Amino acid sequence: MCGIVGYIGRRPAAPILLDGLEKLEYRGYDSAGIAVRDGNGPVAVVKAQGRLRVLSDKTDHGKAIAGNCGIGHTRWATHGEPTETNAHPHVSETVTGIHNGIIENYQELKDKLTKNGYVFYSDTDTEVAIKLIDYYYKKYAHTPVDAINHAMVRIRGSYAFALLFNDYPEEIYVARKDSPMIIGEGEGEHYLASDVPAILKYTRSVYYIGNLEIGRLTADSLTFYNLDGDEIQKEKKEIEWDAAAAERGGFEHYMMKEIHEQPTAVRDTLHSLAHGDHIDLSEVGLTDEDLRSFSQICIVACGSAWHVGMVCKYVMEDLARIPVQVDLASEFRYRRPILDQNALVIIISQSGETADSLAALRLSKQMGIRTLAIVNVVGSSIAREADMVLYTVAGPEIAVATTKAYSAQLIAGYCLAIQLGLARGELTEERYTELIRELDTLPGKIERILEDKERLQWFASKQVAAKDIFYIGRGIDYAISLEGSLKAKEISYIHSEAYAAGELKHGTISLLEEGTLVIGILTQQELFEKTVSNLVECKSRGAYLMGLTVNGHYEIEDTVSFAVYIPKTDDHFMASLAVIPLQLLGYYISVGRGLDVDKPRNLAKSVTVE
């Protein structure tokens, strides 16, 4: 978490830094700060507690600070409270710097530096790192690269640093390990950022700086070094996302814009994998022979990506009759998991940077298991380290609560399931074609659901005071409940639970009070009546019921007070449609409660700490 940016060129740096930070605010918004240098002059540092707009007001939108070279930071607090003192940049005698990541051995380093006369003003691990670089710069090193190299050898943990050395005006130094950073190239200018949206407006030519590598940026040159200080060559890549994709485009919130981008995200992801009536995984690197060779699948992810995994388990097991286990990355990595050597591990991640998911990927590789990443951000760490990558084509997702990336991940999962089913002889050609054709209808069906959003807006307006919401369902409907419930929690701050409908009466039902909202998800034909019975049990204990089901199941109105209908599709693909009203419900309740939909409290979109 935390977002970092940098600019060096011929234009005023501060407004560009603030603009970039705005695009990265989803990575943290406890405080923000910038450091800008005007030629050989001193480095000017301005910081502010709270949202970026406070810093922006303080600097007259950056106009109050002159200079063509600078770095900026938006913080999600790890070490130390979210105060102005703890805000980045941090300053030492020779170096000013910003950092995204966590220095695990910061206490040991701090003690060493304190013994050497250093004084610390903040509680952050970053100040320790900056002063460690200062220490090596003064003690042994004759160049910034030397000093950074010395520090990198001593530091344990993850980092993306951007540094200004007092003795080297008009240069920015960067270094990274396990935290994301890209370098952008313009005409006589260079950028650095944690993520693509921060620089998309200015350039699409980027370099991915690797683990344990260092970069030196000037307006006209870029040099990369390895840990030995030797120069290394890097290949320039072009980002395909277009600049407008990272703007709000007339919507009040990014989340609403991204909800509306789902038909496109689903269509584009599908068409990147399915050509006509066939799915082609050759670009991913998976042949039908590979698909036949796997003895089991293990899906590992965090948050909503884990919910996608839960849907995929039902779909893959049913269509391809292969055992699928779904693990939370934070649990998987410390559990000494047992996997067959012919297993396939699938890591699902929007950002491709989630620390636990990355660690799970590395563990799987160490175990000698083949790994496939389903990732949205091209060139991200997980994408680069996995044996195979399947890119979702959702474009940049800015709102902290995921919507379009979730939907794109589902499609990727369905395509894999269908191809597995055919390759393993579980699907006939006819059924295979029928399923692919059905996938093609999903974008249009999502559009139809979106057209009816006002009904949900009305219902949400009645729920703004809700204390608890329970989401229940069976099978895929249970997996959908998990995502619906998370949407309610993360953006409307309403306590919410997702429960397998049949499990409710083993304890949780005692939480129901008069008027508690229970939302039943009933999209699975075979399970419809079972879940209706569970809803009736809730109703008889005073619950107020909403039902989400498929067009035609109008009998649900005998049981629930408010019914939402979605178009018919194959039962396996229902999550793609059912999630849309649940996203809208979470969104409208959040807006109705006057909350910050795109940047909910305490959260960050990209969780690069474990």
Residues annotated catalytic, as ranges? 2, 605
Name 387's Cβ contacts closer than 8 Å, sequence gap at least 6.
285, 365, 370, 371, 372
Provide the pairing of β-strand 43-49 with 213-217: unpaired
Query: Tokens for 307?
Result: 């919910």
Instruction: Please report whether residue 350 would count as binding ligand G6P according to CB under 6 A.
Output: yes
Nearest CB to ligand G6P, comparing residues 148 and 363: 363
- Candidates 91-99, 272-280, 349-357, 412-420 — which segment interacts with ligand G6P by CB under 6 A? 349-357
Minimal distance, residue 377 CB to ligand G6P, in Å? 8
Cis status of the peptide bond prior to 89, with omega within 30 of 0: yes
Name 574's Cβ contacts closer than 8 Å, sequence gap at least 6.
476, 477, 480, 523, 524, 550, 566
Measured between alpha carbons, how far is 388 from 382 in angstroms, rounded to an integer? 10
Chain positions 545 to 574 lying near ligand G6P, rule: CB under 6 A, are none
Instruction: Please report whether residue 357 would count as binding ligand G6P according to CB under 6 A.
Output: yes
Instruction: Please report whether residue 381 would count as binding ligand G6P according to CB under 6 A.
Output: no
Minimal distance, residue 208 CB to ligand G6P, in Å? 17
Q: Contact with ligand G6P (CB under 6 A): which of 144, 303, 395, 520?
A: 303
Measured between alpha carbons, how far is 354 from 369 in angstroms, rounded to an integer? 20
Instruction: Please report whether residue 78 would count as binding ligand G6P according to CB under 6 A.
Output: no
* 403 close to 605: Cβ distance less than 8 angstroms: no
Name 436's Cβ contacts closer than 8 Å, sequence gap at least 6.
274, 277, 278, 279, 418
Instruction: Please report whether residue 607 would count as binding ligand G6P according to CB under 6 A.
Output: yes
H or E element: which one contains 222? strand 222-225
By CB under 6 A, how many residues form the interface with ligand G6P? 16
Nearest CB to ligand G6P, comparing residues 149 and 402: 402
Instruction: Please report whether residue 523 would count as binding ligand G6P according to CB under 6 A.
Output: no
Q: Contact with ligand G6P (CB under 6 A): which of 179, 269, 354, 371?
A: 354
Strands (E), 387-494: 388-391, 468-473
Instruction: Please report whether residue 302 would count as binding ligand G6P according to CB under 6 A.
Output: yes
Q: Contact with ligand G6P (CB under 6 A): which of 304, 463, 534, 549?
A: 304
* 592 close to 461: Cβ distance less than 8 angstroms: yes
Instruction: Please report whether residue 398 would count as binding ligand G6P according to CB under 6 A.
Output: no
- Candidates 82-90, 198-206, 343-351, 473-481 — which segment interacts with ligand G6P by CB under 6 A? 343-351
Phi, psi of 230 (to 5 degrees): -80, 145
Instruction: Please report whether residue 305 would count as binding ligand G6P according to CB under 6 A.
Output: yes
* 50 close to 70: Cβ distance less than 8 angstroms: no
Alpha helices in 4-143 (DSSP H): 13-24, 52-58, 106-115, 125-139
Instruction: Please report whether residue 609 would count as binding ligand G6P according to CB under 6 A.
Output: no
Instruction: Give me the half-sphere count of Cα atoms (radius 13 Å) on the Cβ side of residue 130.
Output: 28
Instruction: Please report whether residue 94 would count as binding ligand G6P according to CB under 6 A.
Output: no
* 327 close to 337: Cβ distance less than 8 angstroms: yes
Measured between alpha carbons, how far is 198 from 191 in angstroms, rounded to an integer? 9
Minimal distance, residue 471 CB to ligand G6P, in Å? 17
- Candidates 238-246, 347-355, 464-472, 515-523 — which segment interacts with ligand G6P by CB under 6 A? 347-355
Instruction: Please report whether residue 576 would count as binding ligand G6P according to CB under 6 A.
Output: no
Q: Contact with ligand G6P (CB under 6 A): which of 31, 56, 96, 402?
A: 402
Contact residues toward ligand G6P (CB under 6 A) are 302-305, 349-351, 354, 357, 400-402, 603, 605-607
